Copies of this chain bind each other. A is one copy, B any other.
Amino acid sequence: MVEGGKSVLELLNSDFEIVTVVALDEFLQEHGERIPSGTEVINASAGDLKGLGEFQSNDAGLAVARVKPNKTLGIEENEFALVLDDIRDPGNLGTIIRTADWFGISKVIASNESADFYNTKVLNASMGSFTRVKIYYTDLITYLGETDKPLFGTFLKGESVHECNFGSGGLIVIGNEAQGISSEVERFVTKRITIPGFGKAESLNAAIATGIVLDNLRRRRS
């Protein structure tokens, strides 16, 4: 289920199969023709929408779509993808999806213990990017054991992300919010990188680190 005009419109523009749209009169009048035939459409009040969803206020609508099957993602030779080593917080996962989309990264490999992509908080925080970024949940150790792609990981000690040569493609692993990259996954890391710090904070939030690494990757590659 996604909430709010922006996310519902993104869903209508995507290849997701939409089951139900619940929306205000105004939204249905303006966008009704974009709703595929066969979709259940329910006219609702703003109060109904608030009661159904997580938003404090929703002056547009919400929609229910079918989840996609969990399918492996082929990563091209010159492509970068994210690997999530137990991102547990739904808000963090949604923000990481949105950030990946900003930087043109459309594939995410997630450990089975990571937050559920279809959690409403994840979808909301992704701000519609869930329609463009694909995720594949798997056993990371098995997955990483079978790939020969470079694996970049952020640690407190490593090469500065400002100087890192990312090459033409590979996987960027993002560690768990509390533990960072697990020792089992660390074994597969081929390049250790560091975001230089200048203060006394012990670490950065996982989504912030993702944004900074991807910005440097795009800067170094463009």
In whole Å, how far is A146's beta carbon from the nearest beta carbon of chain B? Answer: 27
Residues of B within 8 A of A103 (CB): 197-199
This chain's copy number in the assembly = 2
Contact stretch, chosen from A31-39, A166-174, A207-215: A207-215
Q: Which residues of B contact A200 (CB under 8 A)?
A: 101, 129, 132
B215 touches A195 (CB 8 A): yes
A119 CA to B17 CA in the complex, in Å? Answer: 40
- Starting from the known contacts A99-B201, A102-B199, A127-B202, 12 additional A-B residue pairs (CB-CB under 8 Å) come to A98-B201, A98-B205, A99-B204, A101-B200, A102-B197, A102-B203, A125-B205, A129-B200, A198-B218, A205-B207, A207-B207, A212-B215
A interface with B by C-beta (< 8 Å):
91, 95, 98-106, 125, 127-129, 132, 161-162, 195-205, 207-212, 215-216, 218-219, 222
